[in-house]
Structure 1
Amino acid sequence: MSDIVFSDDLTNLLIMFLLSFAAGSVLPLGSEWYVIVLLEKSISALWVVALATLGNTLGGYLTWWLGKAGRAWYDSKRVLSRRGRAAEALFNRYGVWSLLLSWVPIVGDILVVLAGISRTPTALSLILIFTGKLLRYVFLALAWLGVMAG
């Protein structure tokens, strides 16, 4: 952690982790704005992306687990919103690979829940959720760095 200079940086990174965890769960939050705030403060992009990805992946895992635990309820209700039906169609078409889109607002959460409900293998689910979320944060950081470079 040699490139983290101030204790404020540690606090900001902890907030980044917690916010991205919450955003990765079923809570209607976003973490992208805070990534940009931290990059604006010149906090290491590597640390920001790493902690945002880790927190968001763990939040996604919680969502996956909730889906797995709620399978009986889902089977009895089968009531989904329009976005829920769209996510279900996407999951039915692409299966576990749709988890690469787990970062997409609302639909991504539903995809992760559906993966849990369908009892997709834990390790494969985590790898795909992690990959999708990592690519999103890397793209966001690179886009910000590109804009700042002119």
Structure 2
Amino acid sequence: MTTLWLMFSAAFLAATLLPGGSEVLLVALLNESRSEWLSLVVVATIGNTLGAMTSFYLGRLGRFARSPEAMTQGKYRHSVNMIQKYGYWALLLSWAPLIGDLLCLLAGWMKLPLLRSTLMILIGKCIRYLLVAAFALQWL
């Protein structure tokens, strides 16, 4: 049970704006206990999704802090354009380094639908952890 809490915590923190690499921990835990691969993937997916939803809600709160013109200029422009073009489907990339956290934050800021956004984030993160687990189990 401690292993699952550790995985959940690492995945949650990695999905917020804090730095962290939950994939490395997943591989290490899989190396110790291959039979728990499904539990570890499910817990990591849930933790990472909840962490991303934290960023989503921070985006909702930040909507009052910046004007739309300020967000469409400069370093956020590419991510804003991606969400404007693809909507909540862009959140399938929420697992991606560098842009994933920003996409979740901007999705909240742009008031994308909560349930659809959560589902896309969950699917993207689940696929990522399944691929990491499959790779780790194949090569460990």
TM-score (structure 1 length as normaliser): 0.85
For residues 22-49 of structure 1, the C-alpha deviation after alignment (integer angstroms, 9 at most, x for no partner) is 1111112121000001000015000110
Larger C-alpha radius of gyration, 1 or 2? 1
1:32 aligns with 23
The reply on whether 1:65 has 2:84 as its aligned counterpart is no
Query: C-alpha distance in 2, partners of 1:37/1:135?
Result: 19
Letter in 2 for 1:28: P
CA distance in 1, matches of 2:45, 2:116: 17
Q: Secondary structure at the match of 1:78?
A: helix
Letter in 2 for 1:75: S
1:142 positional shift? 0.7
Aligned in 2, Cα 1:14/1:77: closer, same or farther, shift over 3 Å?
A: farther
| Correspondences of 1:126-137 after superposition (within 5 Å) | 126-137=118-129
Cα deviations across residues 82-114 of structure 1 (Å, max 9, x unaligned)? 3x3322222222111000000111201111111
| Partner residue, 1:54 | 46
Counterpart-to-counterpart distance in 1, 2:95 and 2:13: 13
| Residue 115 (1) aligns with residue 83 (2) | no
Post-superposition shift, 1:77? 7.6
Q: Which moved more, 1:17-26 or 1:88-97?
A: 88-97
> Unmatched 5+ residue regions in structure 2?
none
- Paired residues, what number? 138
* Selected match of 1:87 from 60, 79, 101: 79
2:29 is matched by which residue type in structure 1? Answer: L
Q: CA 1:117 to 1:39, structure 2 compared with 1: closer, same or farther past 3 Å?
A: same
Equivalent of residue 4 in structure 2, options 3, 13, 19:
13
Equivalent pairs: percent with the same residue?
38
Cα RMSD of the aligned pairs, angstroms, is 1.7
State the 1:127 CA deviation: 0.5
Distance of 1:97 and 1:77 partners within structure 2: 23
